Copies of this chain bind each other. A is one copy, B any other.
Amino acid sequence: MHMQSPPVNSLSLDFLTEFCINVEKLEMDKTCRGLIITSSQPKVFSARLDIMEMYGKSPERCGEFWRAVQEMWLKLYSSDMVTIAAINGSSPAGGCLMSLTCDYRIMADNPRYSIGLNETQLGIVAPFWFKDTMVNTVGHRTTELALELGLLYSPSEALKVGLVDLLVPEDEVLTTATKTMTKWLAIPDHARQITKSMMRKPTIDKLTSKREADIQNFVSFITKDSIQKSLRMYLEMLKKRRG
């Protein structure tokens, strides 16, 4: 599945809604056993959650957006399919989260790209289920450091801490993902699926049982004056950098 949402695959409400519908269709299609997620945009896998969905919006709209982010995570992290992230560009925040839901992560070995949950750098906070997903991948201490400082890792640093599983030259990301998929699909589906569920179910159940409280929490945080001000400053900084 190629993500196409120019210019940087920001995760907007529309994008997430369509994405979830597509994943659900593939999940129902019993001939589809694996999913490779990659980007059609140059230099970027997925930029982040779309800040325009959090800035100057009504609480209702913010809540709707957050539910869609949760839905994306729930669908991917619990997918019965083999999921592989072919990370062919930078992958901060929401893009990193999407990668972390996959069974395997292959990243382009380009030192200009980076990956990480850098929310604190923007003055916002990764919620508990972002944190849980990262702890499941790189352990408690690396997650603590990464989230407190909002660290973005270069591909070689990301490999070292276990945030990605494999680095390959940029033009081999997709072919390597395809080869890796073949290896994963050689495992009997039912045994792999039961095993995957055993590893991830406690983390998934936690969000499912706290979903409404998590939305409430996000909305009351993001609509604060001080947070809105942080986002405005960040948007202005982005504008300047582009222009």
Q: Which residues of A contact B (CB under 8 A)?
A: 103-104, 119-126, 128, 131, 135-141, 143-145, 147-150, 162, 165, 183-184, 187-188, 190-192, 194-196, 198-200, 226, 230
State whether A119 touches B191 (Cβ < 8 A): yes
Q: DSSP class of A's interface residues: helix, strand, loop or mixed?
A: helix
CA distance A147 to B140 in the complex (A): 19
Q: For A148, give its contact among B122, B165, B187 (CB under 8 Å).
A: B187
Specify which chain B residues have a CB less than 8 angstroms from the CB of A135 in the assembled complex.
140
Number of this chain's copies in the assembly equals 3
Specify which chain B residues have a CB less than 8 angstroms from the CB of A125 in the assembled complex.
191, 194-195, 198
State whether A191 touches B131 (Cβ < 8 A): no
The CB with the most chain B CB atoms within 10 A, among A103, A122, A126, A149, is that of: A149
Decide: A191 near B141, CB < 8 A? Known: A128-B198, A131-B198.
no
Decide: A149 near B191, CB < 8 A? Known: A141-B138, A144-B136, A198-B131.
no
The CB with the most chain B CB atoms within 10 A, among A131, A144, A148, A184, is that of: A148
CB distance from A37 to the nearest CB of B (A): 17
State whether B191 touches A124 (Cβ < 8 A): yes
Please give me the residue from chain B that is nearest to A150 by CB atom. Answer: B187
CA distance A143 to B137 in the complex (A): 10
CA distance A137 to B139 in the complex (A): 9
Specify which chain B residues have a CB less than 8 angstroms from the CB of A226 in the assembled complex.
190
State whether B136 touches A195 (Cβ < 8 A): no
State whether B148 touches A196 (Cβ < 8 A): yes
Please give me the residue from chain B that is nearest to A137 by CB atom. Answer: B141
